[in-house]
């Protein structure tokens, strides 16, 4: 990174955005000169002897923070590597998927070949401690954060199950979560869990959907709970598996222009239910809203997060990456998602209860009733 060049380029980039609002070239030059002078004075006099790179990064983050936009961020190259890894469902951890139920955190699934599988952790285990510290009273996010860590570091997880209490010590390593996983639920109902809209989301989702349909699926439950979003083009491709012809979302730029995201695909004859919760965000909401607006699917669960804006990734030539909000999206019917979220058609609290509700609503209960009458 070239500190002075980087700082000045960002100052030019971000401040130039506001030039159309009225500041004169003279005012801009004065502001730039003041910034340079303050920088030089801090470097010359401050007790900590700040380096150019320290002040550059602080200046960049200060400009970004002044926008009051939690989704516009500047990443150093190291930060970007970690962030892009999370988009692709790659983490440093023990290889488990967690779920929260009535204030407690449980192991929902264990990734094959992961440290957790090798240690003997099982789906259904309740987490009670991390590194000897109780997780009682901690949020889901706090517990998850404590389990993640640096590659090669150790972590001890205390759990309870029917056989009693157990503690497992594991070494964290890179883990690739499966993007999509399909399961046959019975009664003709298929279940398809989508972890995130990563760059391979469409390929993985389509393959799992095809497997379920080949089994004669008569109803589908799509699980978007805790899916924080990802790439909108992947949401568009997956939506085309269900929407024959329409608008996935209305993308509104800063000039008020509507760039409709169009979908041309196919339709399904079976009922579809989508599970959502407060952590379903961004591309998850974009996808779920379109299926809801067109009457293709009903949403079951709790109100979604409410992230209705889209970011563009801009590599910075002198180092780092800028993720900047460039559009706000509205549903096909014109509903504003940002800071509001989506209201489910059927409100159900509790992870297990949501899954059961989706299963029955997709046709399982009706299937059993018909069988009972036939006998």
Q: Are 186 and 250 in contact (CB under 8 A)?
A: no
Closest CA to 250 of 179, 329, 136, 197: 329
Question: Model confidence at 273, in pLDDT bands (50, 70, 90)?
Answer: very high
Task: Give the mean model confidence (pLDDT) for residues 236-253.
Answer: 98
CA atoms within 13 A on the CB side of 18: 11
Determine phi and psi for 303, rounding to 5 degrees: -55, 140
Closest CA to 283 of 311, 255, 262, 258: 311
CATH number of 180-371: 3.90.226.10
pLDDT for res 58 = 83
The two structure tokens encoding residue 260 = 């409709």
CATH 2.30.42.10 in the chain is located at 91-176
Q: How far apart are CA 278 and CA 342, in angstroms?
A: 9
CA distance from start to end of the chain: 75
pLDDT for res 38 = 79
Which of 44-53, 61-70, 260-269 shows the highest mean pLDDT? 260-269
pLDDT for res 362 = 98
Determine whether 196 is exposed, middle or buried from the number of CB atoms within 10 Å of its CB (0-12, 13-18, 19+).
Answer: buried
Sign of CA dihedral 206, 88, 283, 347: positive
Q: What is the pLDDT of residues 63-94, one digit of tens each?
A: 889 899 999 999 988 889 888 888 898 889 99
CATH number of 91-176: 2.30.42.10
Closest CA to 239 of 261, 259, 218: 261
**What pTM was computed for the model?**
0.78
Question: Model confidence at 241, in pLDDT bands (50, 70, 90)?
Answer: very high
Task: Give the mean model confidence (pLDDT) for residues 17-29.
Answer: 42
- Confidence check: pLDDT of 263 > 60: yes
CA–CA–CA angle 116, 201, 205 (5° rounding)? 90
pLDDT for res 29 = 52
pLDDT for res 175 = 92
Q: What is the pLDDT of residues 97-154, one digit of tens each?
A: 888 888 899 998 899 999 999 999 999 999 999 999 999 999 888 999 899 999 999 9
pLDDT for res 340 = 98
pLDDT for res 26 = 53
Count, in order, helices (H) and strands (E) of the chain. Answer: 11, 19
Going from the C-alpha of 221 to that of each of 208, 230, 359, the distances in angstroms are: 12, 20, 7
CA–CA–CA angle 209, 212, 214 (5° rounding)? 110
Of the ranges 170-179, 244-253, 274-283, which one carries the lowest mean pLDDT score?
Answer: 170-179
Closest CA to 170 of 90, 126, 110: 110
Q: How far apart are CA 281 and CA 286, in angstroms?
A: 8
Mean pLDDT of the chain: 87
CATH 3.90.226.10 in the chain is located at 180-371
Of the ranges 135-144, 190-199, 334-343, which one carries the lowest mean pLDDT score?
Answer: 135-144
CA atoms within 13 A on the CB side of 210: 7
pLDDT for res 366 = 53
The two structure tokens encoding residue 351 = 């992870």
Question: Model confidence at 56, in pLDDT bands (50, 70, 90)?
Answer: confident
């Amino acid at each position: 990174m070239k500190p002075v060049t980087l700082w000045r380029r960002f100052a030019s980039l971000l401040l130039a955005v506001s030039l159309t609002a009225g500041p004169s070239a003279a005012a801009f030059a004065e502001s730039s000169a003041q910034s340079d002078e303050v920088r030089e004075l801090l470097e010359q006099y401050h007790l900590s002897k700040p380096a150019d790179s320290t002040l550059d990064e602080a200046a960049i983050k200060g400009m970004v923070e002044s926008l009051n936009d939690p989704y516009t961020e500047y990443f150093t190259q190291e930060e970007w590597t970690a962030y892009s890894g999370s988009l692709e469902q790659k983490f440093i951890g023990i290889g488990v998927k967690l779920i929260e139920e009535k204030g407690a955190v449980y192991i929902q699934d264990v990734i094959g070949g992961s440290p957790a599988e090798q240690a003997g952790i099982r789906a259904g285990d309740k987490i009670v401690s991390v590194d000897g510290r109780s997780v009682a009273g901690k949020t889901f996010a706090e517990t998850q954060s404590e389990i993640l860590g640096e590659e090669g570091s150790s972590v001890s997880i205390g759990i309870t199950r029917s056989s009693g209490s157990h503690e497992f010590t594991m070494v964290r390593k890179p883990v690739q979560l499966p993007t999509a996983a399909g399961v046959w639920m019975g009664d003709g109902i298929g279940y398809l869990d989508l972890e995130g809209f990563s760059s391979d989301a469409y390929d993985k989702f389509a393959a799992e959907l095809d497997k379920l349909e080949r089994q004669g699926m008569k109803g589908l439950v799509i699980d978007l709970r805790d899916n924080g979003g990802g790439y909108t083009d992947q949401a568009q491709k997956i939506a085309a598996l269900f929407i024959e012809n329409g608008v996935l979302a209305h993308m509104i730029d800063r000039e008020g222009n509507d760039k409709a995201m169009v979908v041309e695909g196919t339709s399904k004859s079976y009922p579809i239910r989508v599970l959502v919760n407060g952590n379903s965000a961004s591309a998850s909401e974009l996808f779920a809203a379109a299926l809801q607006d067109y009457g293709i699917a009903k949403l079951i669960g709790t109100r979604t997060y409410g992230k209705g804006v889209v970011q563009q990734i801009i590599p910075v030539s002198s180092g780092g990456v800028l993720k900047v909000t460039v559009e706000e999206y509205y549903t096909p019917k014109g509903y504003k998602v940002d800071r509001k979220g989506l209201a489910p058609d059927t409100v159900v609290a509790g992870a297990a209860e949501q899954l059961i509700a989706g299963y029955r609503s997709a046709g399982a209960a009706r299937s059993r009733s018909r069988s009972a009458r036939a006998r």
